[in-house]
Structure 1
Amino acid sequence: MMGLPYRRWIKRMIRYRYWMLGFAAVLWVAAAFTGRGLRLDRSIESMFAPRDPILVPYHRMQRTFGEYEVVLAMYADDKLATDAGVARVKEVQERLKKLPGVAATVSLHDLPGGTKFDGPGLGTNYREVFAGFTHNKDLTAAGVICLIERPGEGKSTRRATLRGMRSIVADLPRGALVGEPVLIEEAFDMLEEDGRRLNTWCTLLVMLTILICFRSPIWLLLPVAVVQLTLALTDAALVLSGLELSMVSSMLGAIVTVVGVASVVHILVHYLDERRDGHGRRRALFNTIEELAAPVTVAILTDAAGFAALMVSKVGPVHDFGLMMAIGSLLVLPSCILLTPGMVWLSDFRQKPQAPSDDLALGRWLNWLLAWSSTHVRLLAGAAALVVAISAWGSTRLKHETDFTKNFRADSEINRAYSFVETEFGGAGVWDLMIPVTKEGAKRTSQPPALAGRHYVEFLKLQRQIKEQSPELTKAISLGDTLAAGIGGESVLGAASGRMLTLPMNMMRSQEAMRLFVDTLYQADPEDGRWWLHVLLRAPEQLGADEKALMIEQVQSTAQERFPDAEVTGYYVLLTRLIESVLADQWKAFIVATIVVLGMMIAAIRDLKLTAVTMFPNIFPSLILFGVMGLLGVKVNMGAAMIAAVSIGLSVDSSIHYTMFYQRLRREGLPCDVALAKSQNSVGRAAVYSTLALTVGFATLCVSDFVPTIYFGVLVSLSMIGGLIGNLLVLPVLIRLVDGRSAGAVIAS
């Protein structure tokens, strides 16, 4: 029973309901204005913890060679080796060069003798070096290497530059634009579009679900108001805290919507039950707030805890997503407090008593389900044990998805482009090997050290060795390759002195485009003055997780055998590590969420046995999902990796309402069976409605073009349905099991 001061506060909430609505309206306007400054962080660095060791070589590469990013524009041309084909390459190159943000382009025209196909010679040597970049080996496809400016103040945005390049490539036969900057930018474009579309459709479908369940549009007032106020407050809170949206934040609005609606549904169902029992508006509203204040608060806190558990992840987007969703979930509570008294009062303007809840078809069906489960305990136990055992075995067969192109639908334009490049050019993944030329702490020099030919031959031997040990690696190109092509071969290069290499070096640097390209292969780190040689590596983007990880590890270990300070980095490496980090943190986040939610439930329920049985039906749905994925061979991506922790917080909501409602009835002296029947009827209906709203809301994520978002929506929906089944079938049986003795005592008294 609530204390007297608490009851006085509830009476004041009802008395000043319109003042609270007015304050909520002012708060919404201020929050909406502040939230307009929310932005999407498109940098790859934001996907990792600031002190993650993997960023050290990446930042060095950016400082040393990173003035420009490499993007490849490619297309099919069976007549590439003819005059018409050569002219077409020139035309495409000129169009690309004119785009704002494109610093330089390199094609066959920029290779010494590159457009002369009449026999062996200098052109043949250079074409062999640049095969896979400016053309394919069969000369049936052409490519233009584009050096584009990194995003910065006063520069053309990368997004605008890539849009212009894409429009040019779209006019070419099988035209494709590839490169890790393209993957990242395309992903963020899709996510921004997803965010707008998902928020709209999620809200519409959830409200339609409520309309069908409550059969009157007037009951949409409270959920619409709570959702809109919470979304505005969340955006404003993120702006004021300096946070920016990240890769997985496109579903922020959709998830806040379903979390808010889940809380509101329980309030509406309980209020309508009070009205059906013959209470007036004021008494029904008072009883609803008094009896649901604790369960709604605890449920919202467990939602926030499930999301906050993702903050244990070292992956920036996942960490930020957990923080943002925890903030959004918590803000549902003040929204409900401010809006519930006034909105419910306005919604029930007719003040007409309705039919008793016992006459509701859903209530009768739920009570039948309760009776069935109580008489089939052994069947339920056996089925649950079998499902859990099979799922545990299936989860050991899980495989991870590290092909970043698989984050896009199979029929998307970006997947078509990458398939073309993988087939014709031997791999679309571009990454980097950096080899130190001078020692750490050496004297700074403004000019590059004049290396003799034998040094470049050492680099070329290393390139051959890493290609032999990593057959998936399709290309390795460095300054040594271009010098060998210009001087007459590797044997001649090995005998050349540093002075003898001046002529071929100057010849390559005579053209602006080639000068900029050569500068990306040999530069000094401006921070410490150390000079580094840059080796461009090519590998298929569409490789499996184990193959990618093994190849990267082999290249790094082989390079460090010859050059201990050598470093491997680039988008290709970072994105591979990104997925691995997300998957490595999934079980840690799940354990943290379970412990925190369990602690909250112990504090709220204050009965260890009831807490344990309340938690039980909500732990296994996520584990069963992972087991099924393992059995079916469905790979785990970024979206799937987050659902374990999140679903714990979301699915436990109805269990909390069920158990706390049951406890209140037991304190009033009702026997166990009667209390269970009333809980099944009242809370069970609210659980069905809220789960239906949650499932429909998360189902909108399935229309996303970003596959992890689809996975997240589908798997959370299935997990919620699994939790509902557990709450309606398993939880009553477990409650009767642990509370049976006290039931007999109550009946006897």
Structure 2
Amino acid sequence: MNVFFNFVLKKALLGLTLLLLVAVFFIAQIPDFQLDASSDSLVLEGDKNLSYYQSIKKNYGSDDYLVISYQVEDNLLAPTQLNHLKKFRQDLAKINQVKSVTTILDVPLFRSPPLSLIDLTGESISIDNGNANLALANDEFKNSPLYANNLVSKDGKTTAVLVALRDNQKFKELRESRDKMRIQRANNKLSDDQQLKLKIIEKQILKNATAQSKLQAQTIAQIRTTISRYSDKAHLFLGGLPMITTDIVAYISSDLIIFSLAVIGLMSLILAIIFKSIRWVIMPIGISIVSALIMTGVLAYLGWKVTVISSNFFSLLLVMTLSVVIHLVVRYREIAQLNPELDSNQLIKDTLSQMFKPCLFTTLTTFVAFGSLLISGIRPVIDFGWMMSIGVTIALILSFLAFPMIMSLLPKAKIEKHKTELSVTTSLAKFVEKFGHHLLVVLIIFVIGAGFGVSKLSVENRFIDYFKKDTEINQGLTLIDKKLGGTIPLEIIFDDLAEDYWFDEDLRDEIHEVHQYLDSLQETGKVLSIDTLMQLLTQANNNEALNGFFLNIIRFQLPESAKTQVLYPYLSEDNGQLRIVIRIRETNKELKRGELIDKIQRHISTNLGFKPDSFHLSGMLILYNNMLQSLFESQIETIAVVFVMIFIMFLFIFKSISLSILALIPNTLPSLFILGIMGLLNIPLDLMTITISAIAIGIGVDNAIHYIHRFKDEFKKDKDYMATMYRSHASIGLAMFYTSITVTMGFLILALSNFIPSIYFGVFTAIAMLSALLANLTLLPKLILMVKPKINP
């Protein structure tokens, strides 16, 4: 310890210079810092359904296309409107990364005029070809089994413009290789050489993904510019998964910068009000900012991307570093007031000596709390656990190096006589003394209520709920969802039936039943399958179903444009598969993904007679649901493990079983309280809010360690439990109050975000901090007074 003090005090300038060089090195890496909101961050690593989903995309094409809703006031097929749409399509097609644009102008028509079976084999009818009857086309678009509630809304005033983007084939192949190898790794089937190869591939993908994201963002910006030029004669909204991921990155970037600055500004104001000295504002804020910047540089250096889950890491590190520094400042001022004769170096030594153990222990327990995220199986969650674990370590090291170095280089702080107790903390001590038993009753009621709330928790959330109603993304998704047949795709693949389908009438009837059942569900929008083609052929055959002989003739005679629309996407001769594509309505407030998936699987196998292994459900809906269910199960299971690990650490720290148990009890409350509120308010757990539990545990435990550590020191004076409680509230209680209020106010700023998960994160983290403060200044001392545990010196 003396070597440490000699370095930080006698060679402070050298030490600070070295520290700044390290900081500058990592800060210089920040330009390489990356954000990611791709579909990779929304799926479970090693999910077996992922490889199946990739194979389906390879066979039938990607579902990652953009949808532009084109809404008019009058007649969609008026000549001036069609001319406007044609020019719009042409300008979209000129954008470099746009592969194709599909509109009502170029799709084949079957009832405009009505075609007989013989006519179907002739020239394709479309508005572009100039051979379509527009009056009949208007009716076909609104009532066709292919286009109604899909390409055109039921009222005929809204149409979809589908924009397919160019693929990067090498990037796709790399991702496919990575996903296959990850599944092998999850099953322990990779050799050491293959593990090394996987790491190389993952690094290549990270680099390529950044370039792809930038290219996609530029393309979407160009599309939006084009949309703005054509908004004079139509209401246009952009939708689709690529747009959602790009906009989420934009929201994260905005929140990261704006709200980090807002948190810094607000915390500076609060520190100025509390300490009334520029030194106690600039130094804590400066150390906190440097800590967060160093961690940002570390992420850039390691090539770790920040996702929706970890987007608030900067604000978290700001407040966690600030918490450590505020404890040092409060203790320094307290020692200085009690011992005004001490010189500056001695004051610094005493402060660090007394605060090192509790701060080290709080860092270790916070490390453990965030460590619970490492076993989730979801790469972005695992990365967030590592980020925060490394981050709190950096915060501790930087605080205990920078604080003494800066303080030793500055003149001795003039500490004016000030209250070493606060009316709030003193009032809480009096409350514990007089109404402690009532407190226990109230807390039992709260625990029962929270437990009921926890029982109602779910992970059923909707993408549309991530954005405020007045945002373009919410309005666009709502319009597409309600008018154009839903947004989130779900696919059902039937194996080894493609060839039989043309000859087996019973099979055609069964697929028709499946189609009709899916179409009847309130959660589903548009349903498309090979049965859609059968409905079109039946209409062309005077509403009589065709037999196998005629079907086999007709299917070969259909023009290529018709096959592209109604055959190839839903039947694959090469793979023997039949495919049904369902779009799920995100605006349906009753949507529960897990229940819907189970209901569909059960009905097809039990009621319709298909063997469970003869069909598979696929799509982003399945992958996202698998990820959420895994996250929910792993977090609920590991919370208990985390508390066991923290209890073991308490035993090591406090060297007392009774004190360890007492410290653990109040620190279950913040986590339980937050989860209970979410359950009672029907706020689902998602990628972002699931991490609040770990944060709440870490914060609560920090306060308990600081309080008990100080309680033990104060108890030595007179071995009076009640007097010790009052002194602890007046000393460490002060630091706990200052840090909690500062941090709470900082996180409440996130309530101003346009990104709903950020709002929930900010509000619930603030609630967790306040509840942790109250639990450790009321319930914890009450339990100590009741049990009167033996306190070792």
TM-score, normalised by the number of residues in structure 1: 0.87
Deviation at 1:289, TM superposition (A): 0.7
Q: Which runs of 5+ in 1 are unaligned?
A: 1-5, 440-448
Give yes or no for the alignment of 1:270 onto 2:320: no
Is the 8 Å Cα contact of residues 484 and 493 (structure 1) preserved in structure 2? no
Q: Secondary structure at the match of 2:66?
A: strand
State the SS of the aligned residue for 1:474: strand
| 1:162 to 2:220 alignment | yes
Q: What aligned pairs does 1:85-100 form with structure 2 within 5 A after superposition? A: 85-100=81-96
1:214 aligns with 2:210: no
Matched, 1:80 2:80: no
Matched, 1:29 2:87: no
Query: 1:50 deviation in Å?
Result: 2.4
The alpha-carbon deviation at position 596 of structure 1 amounts to 2.5
Q: Deviations over 1:505-549 (max 9, x none)?
A: 43536xxxx58x96555558xxxx745444321221123466433
1:29 is displaced (CA, Å) by: 0.8
2:583 matched to 1:538? yes
Distance 1:229 1:288 in 2: 22
Paired with 1:121 and 1:689, the residues of 2 have a C-alpha distance of: 67
CA pair 609-11 structure 1, distance change in 2 beyond 3 A: farther
2:558 to 482, 489, 504: 504
2:731 to 679, 682, 701: 682
Report the AA paired with residue 308 of structure 2. Answer: M
2:163 alignment partner AA: C
The percent identity for this pair of structures is 20
SS at match of 2:95: coil
CA 1:217/1:291 → structure 2, altered by over 3 Å: closer, same or farther?
same
Q: CA deviation at 1:387?
A: 1.9
- Is the 2:659–2:789 contact (alpha carbons within 8 Å) kept by the matching residues of 1? no
The residue that corresponds to 1:591 in the other structure is 640
CA deviation digits over 1:126-157, x for unaligned, max 9? 94412223211221212222222346569782
Q: Which amino acid aligns with 2:527?
A: A
Partner Cα separation in structure 2 for residue 328 and residue 121 of structure 1: 60
Corresponding position of 1:136: 153
Please tell me the residue identity of whatever aligns with 1:320: D
Asked if residue 552 in structure 1 is aligned to residue 548 in structure 2, the reply is no
Unaligned runs of 5+ in 2: 110-125, 128-132, 172-207
User: How many pairs were matched up?
Assistant: 717
Would you say the 8 A contact 2:64–2:241 is kept in 1?
A: no
Kept in 2, the 8 Å contact 1:401–1:545? The answer is no
Specify the SS of the correspondent of 1:69.
coil
CA contact (8 A) 1:310 1:322 kept: yes
Q: Distance in 1 between matches of 2:599 and 2:25?
A: 55
Give the conservation status (yes or no) of the 8 Å contact 1:48–1:315.
Answer: yes
Matches within 5 A, 1:51-70: 51-66=46-61, 69-70=64-65
Query: Is this contact kept in 1: 2:45–2:377, CA < 8 A?
Result: no
Q: Could you give the per-residue CA deviations for residues 394-421 of structure 1, whole angstroms, max 9, x where no partner exists? A: 3333454421110112222111112222
Answer with 23-32 or 121-130: which moved more. Answer: 121-130
What secondary structure, in the 3-state scheme, does the structure 1 residue paired with 2:311 have? helix
**Cα separation, 1, equivalents of 2:222 and 2:337:** 63
Once the 2 structures are TM-superposed, how far is the Cα of residue 714 of structure 1 from its aligned partner? 0.6
CA contact (8 A) 1:57 1:567 kept: no
Q: What is the identity, as a one-letter code, of the residue corresponding to 1:676?
A: M
Kept in 1: contact 2:141–2:156 (CA 8 A): no
Counterparts of 2:780 and 2:17, CA distance in 1? 41
Cα-to-partner distance string for 1:182-206 (whole Å, 9 max, x where unaligned): 3333222212222222222222222
Q: CA deviation at 1:253?
A: 0.4
Q: Deviation digits for residues 63-117 of structure 1, max 9, x if unmatched?
A: 3233563322112223013333333332332232222222112222222335424
Aligned residues of 2:712 and 2:791 also touching (Cα < 8 A): no
Which stretch of the first structure deviates more once superposed, 699-708 or 457-466?
457-466
Counterpart of 1:102, as a letter, is: V
> Which residue of 1 is the match for residue 693 of structure 2?
644
Kindly indicate whether residue 345 of structure 2 is the aligned counterpart of residue 282 of structure 1: yes
SS of residue in 2 equivalent to 1:249: coil
Residue matched to 2:455: 396
Q: Does 1:352 align with 2:401?
A: no
CA distance in 2, matches of 1:181, 1:558: 33
Distance 2:145 2:482 in 1: 18
Shift in CA distance, 159/519, structure 1 to aligned 2, threshold 3 Å: farther
Q: 1:232 and 2:227 equivalent? A: no
Q: Give per-residue Cα distances to partners, 1:271-301, cap 9 Å, x unaligned.
A: 0111112122111111111111100111112
Residue 239 of structure 2 corresponds to which residue in structure 1?
Answer: 178
- Of residues 671, 674, 689, the one that matches 1:622 is 671
- For 2:192, the equivalent position in structure 1 comes to none
- Cα deviation 1:425-459 (Å, max 9, x = unaligned): 232333323333579xxxxxxxxx79737589468
Distance, in Å, in 1 between the alignment partners of 2:650 and 2:70 is: 60
Whether the aligned pair in 1 keeps the contact of 2:142 and 2:156 (CA below 8 Å) is no
Mapped contact 1:409–1:705 kept (Cα < 8 A): yes
Q: Is the 8 A contact 1:133 1:145 kept in 2?
A: no
Give the CA deviation at 1:56: 2.6
- What's the offset of the Cα at 1:180? 2.9
Distance in 1, matches of 2:377 and 2:514, equals: 33
The aligned counterpart of 1:45 is 40
User: What amino acid maps onto 1:300 in structure 2?
Assistant: T
Asked if the contact 1:76–1:142 (Cα under 8 Å) also holds between the matched residues in 2, the reply is yes
Correspondence 1:321 to 2:384: yes
Shift of the alpha carbon at 1:260?
0.4
Cα distance, 1:689 vs. partner? 0.7
Per-residue deviation, residues 315-342 of structure 1 (Å, max 9, x unmatched): 3332222221111112112212321211
Counterpart in 1 of 2:370?
307
Q: 1:250 aligns with which of 297, 308, 311?
A: 311
| Matching residue within 410, 434, 437 for 1:375 | 434
Q: 1:568 to 1:95 in 2, by over 3 A?
A: farther
Is the 2:372–2:642 contact (alpha carbons within 8 Å) kept by the matching residues of 1?
Answer: yes
Letter in 2 for 1:538: R
Amino acid at match of 1:720: M
C-alpha distance after superposition, 1:656-687 (max 9, x if no partner): 11111121233466543343332211101100
The aligned counterpart of 1:569 is 618
Q: Give the structure 1 partner of residue 529 of structure 2.
A: 478
The amino acid across from 2:262 in the alignment is W
CA distance in 1, matches of 2:143, 2:452: 54
Distance 1:364 1:165, change over 3 A: closer
Counterpart AA for 1:726: A
Please give the alpha-carbon distance, in whole angstroms, between the structure 1 residues aligned to 2:93 and 2:600: 34
TM-score by length of 2: 0.83
Contact between 2:670 and 2:700, CA under 8 Å: does it hold in 1? no
Question: Does 2:490 match 1:431?
Answer: yes
Whether 2:502 is the aligned partner of 1:452: answer: yes
Aligned residue number for residue 101 of structure 1: 97
Let me know the Cα RMSD of the aligned residues: 3.1
CA distance in 2, matches of 1:199, 1:741: 44
**Aligned letter for 2:484?**
F
Q: Structure 1 CA distance, aligned partners of 2:360 and 2:328?
A: 12
Do the aligned residues in 2 keep the contact of 1:459 with 1:480 (CA within 8 Å)? Answer: no
Instruction: For 1:620 and 1:309, locate their aligned partners in 2 and report how far apart those are by CA, in whole Å.
Output: 18
Letter in 2 for 1:472: E
Query: Per-residue deviation at 1:270?
Result: 0.2
Q: Shift of the alpha carbon at 1:363?
A: 3.1
Q: Hey, what's the Cα distance between the residues in 1 that align with 2:686 and 2:788? A: 42
Partner amino acid, structure 1, of 2:244: L
